[in-house]
Amino acid sequence: MTISSASFNDRLARIEKTRKSAKGRIQLHIGDQEAWVTNDSAMLRRVIAKPRHSRLAVFKVLPALMVGAIGMMIVTALKMRFLTPELAEKVGSNPDLVLVFAAVLTAFGLGMVLRLASVKLMAVQLLGVALAFVGLHNIAFWEPDMAALAFTPDWVEQQTAQFEPRTLRYAETTIRF
């Protein structure tokens, strides 16, 4: 049956019948051909209706914080095991800055692998790197055997001699907890 020979009421009935299954699409008639196209306003309504964040996104904060701390641990372990005096000279006068930069890159890389790559979660990862930077020495007091395996026994001795347990320390500022 062609469109031109159908009565107006038949056409209205057919449109009403297909409206429910159309899902925002419009049926265009070009001669005796029919084509389905999507209405821009219907596409916009579908995009707006999608929630930007799920309620479970809150549960990604703690893993993002841990990824930041793990990034700092990985970089510190690599530094203790593989940094030679020649490389230390090339790093320059501020090795802590290079250490933190490498830890941030490591944390962001791990975060992308673990799908923790939103801007807010990257900020939480940055916070994890900062907390690990100022408090990583506490592992030498709480778990010296495990710290000696992860880093080196020399690192554990250096941390126990230089710092106090249960502190966060940067430069000359110490916060006890």
The string of DSSP codes covering 51-97 is -SS-GGGGGGHHHHHHHHHHHHHHHHHHHHHH--HHHHHHH-S-HHH
- Percent of all residues in the chain with a pLDDT value above 90, rounded to a whole number: 53
Residue type, 147: A
Inter-residue contact 159 to 138 (CB < 8 Å): no
| Model pLDDT, residue 24 | 65
End-to-end CA, the chain = 83
Average pLDDT rounded to a whole number, residues 147-165: 94
pLDDT of 119 higher than 50: yes
Q: How far is CA 174 from CA 24, 90, 122, 167, 171, in A?
A: 62, 29, 26, 6, 8
Range of weakest confidence among 32-46, 141-155, 162-176: 32-46
Residues listed for the chain:
177
| Distance separating alpha carbons of residues 105 and 122, to the nearest angstrom | 11
Q: What is the pLDDT of residues 1-53, one digit of tens each?
A: 455 556 888 877 777 777 666 666 777 777 778 777 766 666 666 666 666 66
CA distance 107 to 63: 11
Q: How far is CA 116 from the centre of its chain?
A: 2
Instruction: Report pLDDT for 177.
Output: 87
Q: What is residue 110's predicted lDDT score, i.e. its pLDDT? A: 96
The string of pLDDT tens digits covering residues 86-118 is: 888 887 788 889 999 999 999 999 999 999 989
Calculate the average pLDDT of the chain.
85
Beta-carbon contacts of 78 under 8 Å, excluding residues fewer than 6 positions away, are: none
Beta-sheet strands, E only, within the chain: 25-30, 33-38, 167-170, 173-176
DSSP state of 172: T
Q: What is the pLDDT of residue 36?
A: 73
In the block, residue with structure tokens 């389905």: 36
Q: What are phi and psi of 136, to 5 degrees?
A: -65, -25
More confident call, 135 vs 55: 135
**Full-model pTM:** 0.68
